[in-house]
Amino acid sequence: MTTTSKTPLLDRIKIPADLRAHDDDDLPQITDELRQELIEAVSITGGHLGAGLGVVELTVALHYVFNTPDDRIIWDVGHQAYPHKILTGRRDRIRTLRQGGGLSGFTKRAESDYDPFGTAHSSTSISAGLGMAVGRDLQDKKNNVIAVIGDGAMSAGMAYEAMNNAGSMDSRLIVILNDNDMSIAPPVGAMSAYLARLISGGTYRGFRHFAKHIAEMFPKSLEEKARRAEEYARGMATGGTLFEELGFYYVGPIDGHNLDHLLPVLRNVRDADEGPILIHVVTQKGKGYAPAEESADKYHGVSKFDVITGTQSKPPANAPSYTSVFAKSLMAHAEKDDKIVAVTAAMPDGTGLGQFAKTFPDRTFDVGIAEQHAVTFAAGMATEGLKPYAAIYSTFLQRAYDQVVHDVAIQKLPVRFAIDRAGLVGADGPTHAGSFDITYLTCLPDFVVMAAADEAELMHMVATSVEIDDRPSAFRYPRGEGIGIELPEIGTPLEIGKGRIMREGTTVALVSLGCRLQETMKAADELAAQGISTTVVDARFAKPLDEDLFARVAREHEVLVTVEEGSVGGFGAHVLEFLSNNGLMDRGLKVRTLTLPDTFQDHDKPDAMYVAAGLTAPSIAGTALTALGHEKALISLAAERANALPGKS
């Protein structure tokens, strides 16, 4: 019995060269098959579906018109790159997307020659593309460079910096503005398509240059009037004056789902010998899949789902998420304190501030993809006596580090940083891991840095931050649900820089910062089973350190092990420096610091990643045993750890 393939044309396309062997008439069917393959693949893996659905036609058109990989296509952020991966030799692995050992959810240079630049954070494509264009020109190459950037990513200052630079250099660069947040309005019709073809073609462009040359022979007053008239006429037809002012030749808007519109424009632009050029393409997130089109978030990020119904398979939560606990806690304090305001950089739901905004719309500010502005904006509000909370993912706060230092820390302004997604994040991989915030914040003078061990502690840290009015503060917490402990109605402020002892012992001291506390307690149990008396400390504060507590612990124990879900150079380094500088290691104290590995860990399930990182109970206990020289016990725990590895029952 033979089975007819659902994707007969797509089956014949391994790489873009195979796509280019087809006629134009085949492309609509290929896009239909590609969209079907994308939906089925993501239904198995989960991931960013809506953005990919919106660029199926654009992806096909780009690889069809341009000679990739010699021509470079940079997908800004990379959420929309799944169709690109299917067409560029990775279809056989697309169902490993975001799985351990599988394809990255973003473009990645090490993965394919068709990925010229690694992405995952927004607004980088134009800068990278301009760099590639300069590299091309200096080596006398002739390939095209195309940067595809969404309207949301275009809101970041970096994109405008790059455009301004590109415009002033007159570099041959193609930017495609993928506008997927506005409806396809009347300008995006037959007339618009005709105008786009006209103004992107050689005849019009040649006439423009001729007209410009003639105009330059006029007296200055007439030259300026002629220039403005032409610009105004084009602006009225296409709305391109902003980009023209930045030095780009503007084409559009055109319907990004209509190949009859896309292909001639892309061909015209490909064959143009001047630049830079911006093509304004209007698309629809979730296009072609009804559940996505009808969803409020257009299936931006989904778990595994049923293709027929679109129903996502989300297991019931055993405990509230840290994000929701933060939001509810902040709302409780905001009810009592009208000076509390909240800032998010385009992540209202991800940070929990969407919930906050419903209750306090006038005190919630979504500034778009603009983390630098978000931080300094918060600093400005702090100067006026408000209590701003900048709720930003750890990995995105990195983008605003200069503002954290210069605009907040140096001025000792009481901006509160709610740092979500601290530690490892699983399927999103190293680009989204919250690995570095402890390190880059604790090096700043007079900065209070807290890390919650559980959801109740998070509530107490929110309460603590409300009371800190003389300097900046931050509290970090992970993605996902808490441990399920009982929560108070409202948090209680903690004493600044004071930890807590969870268990008293005499031989080994395990000092935990953040959500590895539960694993640390298990490690203490494993050590106890070996007859080793163990103290467990929840540090609570990475800065300021609880020096009195750490000094006592150092004097009373043989081994001290610090545990944190952050990079090298963080909490453990500060503890080690304190102990060293105060002579607390001079009488034989053995100190070990456990951190995330000094590498960028590939995506996987979080549990597997923490095993690999050595931040689980067997590894913590094993570190203490090694320091004590207990070899037999160590062998026993090593076997236990091996059984805990993924794939072991």
Whether 56 contacts 31, CB under 8 Å: yes
3-state secondary structure (DSSP) of residue 246:
coil
Which tokens belong to 244? 């023209």
What would the DSSP string read from start to end of 406-472? IIIITTT---EEEEES-B--GGGGGGT-B-SHHHHHHTSTT-EEEE-SSHHHHHHHHHHHHH--SS-
3-state secondary structure (DSSP) of residue 493:
coil
Phi, psi for 551 (deg, rounded to 5)? -65, -45
Among the listed residues 33, 37, 371, 526, the single catalytic one is 371
3-state secondary structure (DSSP) of residue 562:
strand
3-state secondary structure (DSSP) of residue 29:
helix
Query: CA quadruple 443, 444, 445, 451: dihedral positive or negative?
Result: negative
Residue 336 annotated as catalytic? no
Query: CA quadruple 635, 637, 643, 646: dihedral positive or negative?
Result: negative
* Whole-angstrom distance, CA of residue 100 vs CA of residue 103: 8
Structure-token match 């305001």, residue found: 341
Which tokens belong to 36? 């079907």
Among the listed residues 399, 479, 516, 540, the single catalytic one is 399
Q: Which of 286, 388, 366, 320 is nearest to 80 (CA)?
A: 286
Strands 500-503 and 340-344: unpaired
Chain-centroid distance of CA 221 in Å reads 50
Chain-centroid distance of CA 14 in Å reads 30
Query: CA quadruple 164, 165, 171, 173: dihedral positive or negative?
Result: negative
Residues in a beta bridge with 277: 174, 249
Task: For helices 190-200 and 202-216, give the axis angle rounded to 10 degrees.
Answer: 60
Residues 268-289: b if buried by 16+ CB within 10 A, e if exposed = bbbebeebbbbbbbbbbbbbbb
Which tokens belong to 478? 């992970």
Q: Would you say how long the chain is, in residues?
A: 649
Residues in a beta bridge with 75: 148
Among the listed residues 285, 387, 540, 543, the single catalytic one is 285
Q: Which of 469, 462, 425, 439 is nearest to 607 (CA)?
A: 425
* Whole-angstrom distance, CA of residue 509 vs CA of residue 593: 12
Residue 399 annotated as catalytic? yes
| Nearest-5° Cα angle at 289, 286 to 292 | 50
Residue 205 annotated as catalytic? no
Which tokens belong to 131? 């760099």
Which tokens belong to 588? 């034989």
Catalytic positions, please? 285, 371, 399
